[in-house]
């Protein structure tokens, strides 16, 4: 319990540091939000008035204190562009991104570990070589390009070459704009819209995980206890799952936490290509319009997700590996 | 002398051909790949096709009638340069800060590592977006931002290795022989603590190329008319139905280049060290 409290304290300290750095980055950048927000015909006095209204005329230190104070109370300020609280803007976008992210994280992990394990078990054989080439190539592919390729095949190509209806997938948005159905039909509509974005993220992610899992499993396979178990006549399947996978799990859990920022970052591109109105789109449009409060809030939220994932990994590890229980 | 594997030779060869092409092709090309000529006569010629003025185009032309192969080679200059400079500079900063943190210890160590941890907690792409978008977009900004967001991993590796090497008997021997601290660090500790940093920097070239292409795709990196693989893909985005080759070629160029960098990094890692540094870098 004491360890948990300590970890939590460190996590909050880290979050505060992140907030401070982001604030400094955003506010030290050239460019003035007020001059961008006023209409082109506005006078300098109008801009000055808006600046005062937004609190942008106060010294940076005061602005920083205001913002951190608000953030600690859960108030992230008000968006300049949407004229709504930042928390509300993010709350609209987060579930969509989280849905996309969690689905692709699960697929990434399952497929990545399976492929890596198969490769480790067949190390040096042709199937290992083929899979290595495939994963390394996939790992080198930019996600936005892969997304475009999938759209070209499964949206436009599907229509041109007459794919069965199940393989004709929508490429834009979350719902069919003409759809009025509710309940299960609406859910299935969202799922169909999610297939291509999730597939893009999972393909790139699984390739990275497989590369790592292959070496993690190979390390365990060469351990003496595996040979001992085999000599004792333990069934192969049991060796793989009871002895090998159980011991390869801790590094893989760390990897799961490490791949969270990658999935989050990848979703920025994928959301941009598929017009998926999640955090990535919010972030991009906020940056374009210099909507400082939203940029700060979104970055803080991203960092909180990463720090949270690492915290969970830290807490789960001792459960999987008795040696780590202090 | 260890035998050099076929993947290493293949990757080095491919990167060499690419670098040579990047240097030669734009110089030898009959038209400047940045300027727009007769659009109606030349636009959207498919690969291996002739335009109506009789010019032959290996990879076709884009919507402004510019030759894609020549543009791709011009873009390769930039991508390779940004990738190598970005990763190398980020690595140097990381080595310097990591070595300093481990060598001086105390407050310096704590502050440097806290900064590294905080920057690592923000997804690199988000950090890149915030920096690249708020400053004036352009090639210099991209490199600067890659360095600012890329030094932390290397700094951590070097710090751990310096701490390890510092405890080694040969360091104790050097100190006992009266070598000054600076000499011990430069001559004895650092050369033994750079293995994983070199691997990380090599693998980082691929990541940097991917991140640059991502920023350029979003319009926040290299600005047109200067071609970059990322902004060429962005050009082809609306054309994937009628002219898929516009986006296809630069995408394959990115994959090939990054693949070669990854293979080189992997080979280097297997040669330099038995232990593996974490291989999950952030990608675009």
First-to-last alpha carbon distance for chain B, in angstroms, is: 37
Flag if A283 and B263 touch (Cβ within 8 Å). no
Tell me the C-alpha distance between A72 and A57, whole Å.
22
CB B117 within 8 A of CB B109: no
Residues of B in contact with A136 (CB under 8 A): 259, 262-263
Note whether A156 contacts B280, CB cutoff 8 Å.
Answer: no
Rounded to the nearest 10°, the torsion over CA B213, B156, B140, B14 is -50
| Greatest mean pLDDT among A268-272, B24-28, B82-86 | B82-86
Supply the pTM of this predicted model.
0.86
How far is it, in rounded angstroms, from Cα A75 to Cα A77? 6
Is A111 an interface residue toward B (CB < 8 Å)? no
- Please give the pLDDT value at position B40: 65
Residue B89 has pLDDT above 90, yes or no: yes
Tell which wins on pLDDT, B228 or B132. Answer: B228
* Interface touch A262/B123, C-beta < 8 Å: yes
Average model confidence (pLDDT) across chain B: 82
Query: Could you say which of A26, A269, A303 has the minimum Cβ distance to residue B122?
Result: A303
Predicted local distance difference test score (pLDDT) of residue A326 = 57
By C-alpha distance, the chain A residue nearest B123 is: A261
pLDDT of res. B277: 45
Q: ipTM of the assembly?
A: 0.83
Among A78, A82, A31, A56, residue whose Cα is nearest residue A297 = A78
Nearest CA in chain A to B238: A148
pLDDT-based confidence at B273, cuts 50/70/90? low
Residue in chain B nearest A27 by alpha carbon: B134
- Say whether residue A203 is in contact with chain B using an 8 A CB cutoff: no
**Residue B179 C-alpha, separation from nearest chain A C-alpha, in angstroms:** 39
pLDDT digits (tens, 9 = 90+) for B244-265: 888 888 899 999 999 999 888 8
Q: How far apart are CA B44 and CA B66, in angstroms?
A: 9
DSSP character string of A89-154: HHHHHHHHHHHHHHHHHHHHHHHHHHHHHHHHHTTTSHHHHHHHHHHHHHHTS-HHHHHHHHHIII
Per-residue pLDDT 10s for chain A (326 aa) are 677 788 888 888 888 888 888 888 887 776 666 666 667 677 777 777 777 777 777 777 888 888 888 877 777 777 887 778 888 888 888 888 888 888 998 998 899 988 988 888 888 888 888 898 889 888 888 988 998 888 888 877 777 777 777 777 777 777 776 666 677 777 777 788 888 889 998 998 888 888 888 888 888 888 888 888 888 888 888 888 888 888 888 878 877 877 777 777 778 888 888 888 888 888 888 888 878 888 888 888 888 888 888 888 888 877 777 776 65
Summarize the confidence of residues B219-241 as an average pLDDT: 84
Across the interface, do B129 and A149 touch by the CB < 8 Å criterion?
A: no
Alpha carbons A318 and A312: distance in angstroms, whole number: 11
Counting other chains too, the contacts that A54-59 makes at CB distance below 8 Å and 24 or more residues apart are: A54/A80, A56/A32
Q: What is the 3-state secondary structure (H, E, C) of chain B?
A: CCCCCHHHHHHHHHHHHHHHHHHHHHHHCCCCCCCCCCHHHHCCCCCCEECCCCCEECCCECCCCCEHHHHHHHHHHHHHHHHHHHHHHHHHHHHHHHHHHHHHCHHHHHHHHHHHHHHHHCCHHHHHHHHHHHCCCCHHHHHHHHHHHHHHHHHHHHHHHHHHHHCCHHHHHHHHCCCCHHHHHHHHHHHHCCHHHHHHHHHHHHHHHHHHHHHHHCCCCCCCCCCCHHHHHHHHHHHCCCCCHHHHHHHHHHHHHHHHHHHHHHHHHHHHCCCCCCCCCCCC
Residue of A143, A261, A272 lying closest to B124 (CB–CB): A261
């Amino acid at each position: 319990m004491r360890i948990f409290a300590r970890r939590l304290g460190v996590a909050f300290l880290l979050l505060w540091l992140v907030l401070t750095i982001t604030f400094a980055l955003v506010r030290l950048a050239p460019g003035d939000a007020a001059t961008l927000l006023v209409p082109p015909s506005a006078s300098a006095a109008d801009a000055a008035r808006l600046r005062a209204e937004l609190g942008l005329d106060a010294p940076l230190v005061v602005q920083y204190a205001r913002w951190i104070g608000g953030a600690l109370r859960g108030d992230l300020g008000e968006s300049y562009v949407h004229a709504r609280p930042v928390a509300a803007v993010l709350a609209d976008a987060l579930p969509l991104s989280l849905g996309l992210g969690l689905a692709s994280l699960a697929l990434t992990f399952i497929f990545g570990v399976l492929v890596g394990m198969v490769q480790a078990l067949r190390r040096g054989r042709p199937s290992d070589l083929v899979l290595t080439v495939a994963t390394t190539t996939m790992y080198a592919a930019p996600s936005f390009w892969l997304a475009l390729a999938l759209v070209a095949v499964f949206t436009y190509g599907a229509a041109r070459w007459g794919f069965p209806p199940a393989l004709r997938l929508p490429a834009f948005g979350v719902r069919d704009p003409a759809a009025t159905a509710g309940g299960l039909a609406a859910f299935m509509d969202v799922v169909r819209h999610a297939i291509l974005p999730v597939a893009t993220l999972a393909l790139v992610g699984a390739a990275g995980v497989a590369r790592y899992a292959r070496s993690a499993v190979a390390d365990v396979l060469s351990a003496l206890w595996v040979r001992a178990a085999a000599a004792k006549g333990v069934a192969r399947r049991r060796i793989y799952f009871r002895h090998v996978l159980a011991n390869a799990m801790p590094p893989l859990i760390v990897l799961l936490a490490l791949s969270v920022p990658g999935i989050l970052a990848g979703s920025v591109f994928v959301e941009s290509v598929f017009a998926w109105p999640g955090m990535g789109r919010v972030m991009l449009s906020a940056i374009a319009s210099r909507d400082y409060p939203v940029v700060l809030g979104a970055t803080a939220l991203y960092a909180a997700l990463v720090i949270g994932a690492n915290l969970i990994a830290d807490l789960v590890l001792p459960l999987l590996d008795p040696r780590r229980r202090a | 002398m260890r035998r050099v594997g076929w993947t290493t030779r293949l990757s080095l060869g491919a990167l060499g051909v690419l670098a040579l092409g990047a240097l030669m092709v734009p110089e030898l090309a009959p038209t400047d790949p940045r300027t727009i000529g007769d659009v109606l006569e030349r636009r959207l010629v498919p690969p291996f096709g002739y335009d109506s003025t009789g010019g032959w185009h290996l990879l076709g032309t884009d919507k402004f009638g510019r030759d894609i192969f020549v543009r791709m080679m011009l873009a390769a200059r930039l991508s390779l340069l940004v990738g190598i400079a970005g990763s190398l500079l980020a690595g140097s900063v990381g080595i310097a800060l990591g070595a300093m943190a481990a060598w001086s210890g105390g407050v310096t160590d704590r502050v440097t590592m806290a900064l590294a941890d905080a920057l690592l907690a923000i997804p690199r792409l988000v950090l890149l977006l915030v920096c690249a978008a708020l400053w004036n977009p352009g090639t210099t900004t991209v490199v600067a931002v890659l360095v600012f967001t890329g030094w932390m991993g290397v700094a951590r590796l070097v710090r751990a290795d310096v701490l390890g090497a510092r405890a080694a008997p040969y360091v104790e021997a050097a100190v006992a022989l009266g070598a000054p601290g600076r000499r011990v660090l430069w001559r004895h500790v650092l050369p033994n603590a750079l293995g994983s940093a070199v691997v990380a920097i090599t693998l980082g070239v691929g990541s940097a190329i991917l991140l640059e292409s991502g920023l350029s795709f979003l319009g926040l990196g290299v600005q047109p008319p200067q071609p970059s693989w990322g902004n060429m893909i962005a050009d082809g985005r609306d054309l994937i139905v009628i002219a898929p080759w516009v986006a296809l070629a630069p995408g394959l160029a990115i994959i090939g280049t990054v693949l070669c960098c990854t293979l080189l990094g992997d080979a280097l890692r297997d040669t330099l060290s038995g232990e593996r540094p974490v291989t999950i870098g952030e990608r675009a």
